[in-house]
Amino acid sequence: MALLQIQEPGGKIAKPLHRLAVGIDLGTTNSLVSASCGGGVETIPDNGGEHLLPSVVYYQKDQPALVGSEAKALLVEDSMNTVASIKRFLGKSQSELQAEHAYLPFEFDPSRSDSSPAIMTADGSKDAVQVSADILSELVQRAETCLKGPLEGAVVTVPAYFNDAQRQQTKDAAQLAGLKVLRLLNEPTAAAVAYGLDSEDQGNVVVFDLGGGTFDVSLLSLKKGVFEVLATAGDTSLGGDDIDHIIADWLAAQMHEAGQSETLPKARLLQLANSAKHQLSTQDTVQIAAAGWTTELDNKKLKQLTSELVRRTINTCRRVLRDASLAIEDIDNVIMVGGSTRMPIVRDAVAEFFGKPPLTNIDPDKVVAVGAGIQADVLIGNKSANSFLLLDVNPLSLGIETMGELVEKIIPRNTSIPVAKAQEFTTFKDGQTVMSLHVVQGERELVADCRSLARFELREIPAMVAGAAKVRVTFQVDADGLLSVTAEETSSGKKAEIQVKPSYGLESSVIEEMLQASHENAQADMETRSIKEAQLDARQLLDAIANAIAIDGELLSEIEVQKLKGAITALENIMISGSSVEINAATEALNLVSSDFAAKRMDLHIANALRGESIDAVEKQTD
């Protein structure tokens, strides 16, 4: 029976409750928070009217941490206790960080393991999760002050190429800051949400996202309210910070050539480089002065210095188009996201490659946060979920190791998420009661060429002949890009499962190499896989024949034994170095030689099964 809302005569119609949820862009250089305010989603400023919060935290003994502009002002004065660009540290080991960064202005805590690095500060050691949580807490406080109430949830953005470990640590930081994470949303996808709902652009759209520390390119299809990511690629160690380092190194070389005896600290050089870069976004030449020394930098020289970095971004665009099987002519619009896309050299390179000027009508610093806020409004229930459909993708294929060290892909690369896919596997040997499952990630055909994610075992499988047991393996990737794997033996219901949260992630250069290697070695990989599969089929036949001879060898004459041995030896020899075609031919030859033996065994076992049974009884059993 339906319930009616009772209302006093003449009373005002009750407005639906507006729940407080925000979108957060946790950036390498700056962070923002947005929320639905009246007519639309807007970024929320601090008391001074500043929307961007510098992602910098300053730690002092027995004092609350300073976050934002106050902390940024202390980067040069006290670099040992001032942490910047912490987003680049998420999901990485100490050795990875030291290999990636030639300059780190602080010390690592020696008591922490390589897999769990932490920075030494005056207020104790701080890891990437804790520092990120301090930045998020500042944004939460800003939002709750503006919205006048506690937050009920948040959508937090991450680079599209963040792996499981980096996504999980982002989620951990948000939870440490007291946030309920409604969803982790890829930054390029958030930008597409903002543009898709704020404009009438339809068709194929490239989101070019170059921030302070990360770079992503996503190709999306925007049609009738459906946002589908067709392909994505990127580099989690490429951004405006790298441009700052290149300019700083050039400044140091210029000072050395000019005979300057006073060497500036790297932190001061980076500060000068960053300021010069920003000025060159609005003017053609900038004067740089420090320690009584002056030099000049113009956009022509900056283009020369950064040509390799810009070339890497364009190569990523090429890869995304190739992955989506689209040509440049198929692209309708290009969206620029991230503060580094303000640089004329970047915009010009993108416009030249795609043959059209990119869209910049939404502030590139704010567009990701706006998109996250729109998604948060939907997920919290303030806006109809039918407003748009958001389909994200997983960046690398996920699969499982099978016999012969082969990879069976369960969820292919660029599959829309959330997604769940299952596949049935079986046992390889008679009486097998345990199955070891190895979850891998990558595009190659052999396990050795892919990335290992996790291992677990399914036990207490009923003992059966090889191939009789049915084990259903289910891969499920949630909306945050995190993977759960379940294995279940269907007849007994025995189950094992694992959630994949790797300790650290891949370096972006390794991800790029994996994708490149998959294309370069595609033909060789398929031949290798064919050989491995042929070897497996041959090994199963050899094992079956050896087992049959051990049980019923007396059925064979001496001539038949010699024929079998000859075919077995030929197969074993060809398995060592033969092609898949040669191994399959030798396997088929052994099958033919052993067919008479198989027929004799079948006759014998049928006769034994029927011995002592009357014809009537047998007929009843078969009816």
CA–CA separation, 90 and 117 (whole Å)? 10
Length of the chain measured in residues? 623
Give the active site residue among 127, 134, 187, 235: 187
What's the confidence (pLDDT) of residue 318? 94
Residue 579: partners with Cβ closer than 8 Å, 6 or more residues away:
527, 531
What's the confidence (pLDDT) of residue 200? 52
pLDDT band (50, 70, 90) for residue 139: very high
Residue 227: partners with Cβ closer than 8 Å, 6 or more residues away:
189, 192, 193, 196, 220, 221, 388, 389, 390, 391
What's the confidence (pLDDT) of residue 45? 93
What value does the mean pLDDT of the chain take? 82
- In this predicted structure, the answer to whether residue 382 has a pLDDT above a threshold of 80 is no
CA–CA separation, 498 and 488 (whole Å)? 12
CA–CA separation, 460 and 483 (whole Å)? 25
Using DSSP, state whether 226 is helix, strand or coil.
strand
Give the active site residue among 96, 164, 209, 216: 209
What's the confidence (pLDDT) of residue 544? 80
The two domains 21-238+308-392 and 240-307 share their CATH topology (first three levels equal): no
Q: Which of 189, 188, 185, 183 is nearest to 227 (CA)?
A: 189
CA–CA separation, 440 and 424 (whole Å)? 17
- In this predicted structure, the answer to whether residue 14 has a pLDDT above a threshold of 50 is no
Residue 71: partners with Cβ closer than 8 Å, 6 or more residues away:
54, 56, 57, 58, 65, 82
- In this predicted structure, the answer to whether residue 616 has a pLDDT above a threshold of 80 is no
Per-residue pLDDT reduced to its tens digit, 518-576: 556 666 667 777 787 787 788 878 888 888 888 877 887 888 888 888 888 888 888 88
- In this predicted structure, the answer to whether residue 131 has a pLDDT above a threshold of 60 is yes
Q: What is the mean pLDDT of residues 397-414?
A: 83
DSSP per residue, 345-367:
HHHHHHHHHHTSPPB-SS-TTTH
pLDDT band (50, 70, 90) for residue 469: confident
CA–CA separation, 565 and 31 (whole Å)? 72
Residue 294: partners with Cβ closer than 8 Å, 6 or more residues away:
287, 288
What's the confidence (pLDDT) of residue 275? 92
Per-residue pLDDT reduced to its tens digit, 245-283: 999 999 988 888 887 766 788 888 988 999 999 999 889
What's the confidence (pLDDT) of residue 314? 95
Query: Between residues 15 and 427, which one has the greater pLDDT?
Result: 427
pLDDT band (50, 70, 90) for residue 505: very low
Say if residues 75 and 273 touch (Cβ distance below 8 Å): no
- In this predicted structure, the answer to whether residue 384 has a pLDDT above a threshold of 50 is yes
Per-residue pLDDT reduced to its tens digit, 314-346: 999 999 999 889 999 999 889 998 888 999 999
**Per-residue DSSP letter, 269:** H
What's the confidence (pLDDT) of residue 484? 85
CA–CA separation, 89 and 97 (whole Å)? 7
What's the confidence (pLDDT) of residue 180? 92
CA–CA separation, 233 and 219 (whole Å)? 9
Q: Enumerate the β-bridge partners of residue 416.
A: 393
Per-residue pLDDT reduced to its tens digit, 115-127: 889 999 999 999 9
**For 240-307, CATH number?**
3.90.640.10
Query: Any catalytic annotation for residue 201?
Result: no
Query: Any catalytic annotation for residue 209?
Result: yes
CA–CA separation, 199 and 373 (whole Å)? 16
Class of the CATH-defined domain 21-238+308-392: alpha beta
Say if residues 182 and 380 touch (Cβ distance below 8 Å): yes
pLDDT band (50, 70, 90) for residue 508: very low
Give the active site residue among 72, 87, 92, 532: 87
CA–CA separation, 278 and 289 (whole Å)? 15
Structure-token match 């160690």, residue found:
237
Strands 226-235 and 215-223: antiparallel
Q: What is the mean pLDDT of residues 510-514?
A: 53
- In this predicted structure, the answer to whether residue 13 has a pLDDT above a threshold of 90 is no
What's the confidence (pLDDT) of residue 9? 43
Query: Between residues 235 and 21, which one has the greater pLDDT?
Result: 21
What's the confidence (pLDDT) of residue 7? 40
What's the confidence (pLDDT) of residue 3? 38
Say if residues 341 and 347 touch (Cβ distance below 8 Å): yes
Using DSSP, state whether 334 is helix, strand or coil.
strand
24 phi and psi, to 5 degrees? -125, 125
Give the active site residue among 25, 241, 443, 512: 25
Query: Any catalytic annotation for residue 87?
Result: yes
Of 214-228, 552-566, 584-598, the poorest mean pLDDT is in: 214-228
A 10 A CB-CB count for 196 gives 24
What's the confidence (pLDDT) of residue 503? 33
Q: Which of 306, 263, 22 is nearest to 146 (CA)?
A: 22
Q: Which of 362, 418, 380, 272 is nearest to 32 (CA)?
A: 362
Per-residue pLDDT reduced to its tens digit, 48-100: 899 999 999 999 998 999 999 999 999 888 989 999 989 989 988 888 888 87
Angle between helices 508-520 and 522-552 (to 10 degrees): 70
Using DSSP, state whether 471 is helix, strand or coil.
strand
What's the confidence (pLDDT) of residue 104? 79
CA–CA separation, 367 and 42 (whole Å)? 10
What's the confidence (pLDDT) of residue 1? 32
Q: Which of 183, 199, 209 is nearest to 22 (CA)?
A: 183
- In this predicted structure, the answer to whether residue 612 has a pLDDT above a threshold of 60 is no
CA–CA separation, 210 and 336 (whole Å)? 8
Q: Which of 515, 455, 511, 448 is nearest to 485 (CA)?
A: 455
Residue 129: partners with Cβ closer than 8 Å, 6 or more residues away:
90, 169, 172, 173, 176
Query: Any catalytic annotation for residue 25?
Result: yes
Could you give the percent of the chain with pLDDT greater than 70? 85
Per-residue pLDDT reduced to its tens digit, 413-429: 767 777 888 888 888 77
Structure tokens at 75: 């980067």
Ramachandran category for residue 190: left, alpha or beta (phi over 0 → left; psi -120 to 50 → alpha): alpha
Could you give the percent of the chain with pLDDT greater than 90? 30
What's the confidence (pLDDT) of residue 260? 74
Class of the CATH-defined domain 394-505: mainly beta
Report domain extents, the chain. Answer: 21-238+308-392, 240-307, 394-505, 523-610
What's the confidence (pLDDT) of residue 123? 93
CA–CA separation, 581 and 531 (whole Å)? 8
Using DSSP, state whether 135 is helix, strand or coil.
helix
CA–CA separation, 306 and 248 (whole Å)? 12
Q: Look at the domain 523-610 and name its fold.
A: Substrate Binding Domain Of Dnak; Chain:A; Domain 2 (1.20.1270)
Structure tokens at 263: 């060497």
pLDDT band (50, 70, 90) for residue 506: very low
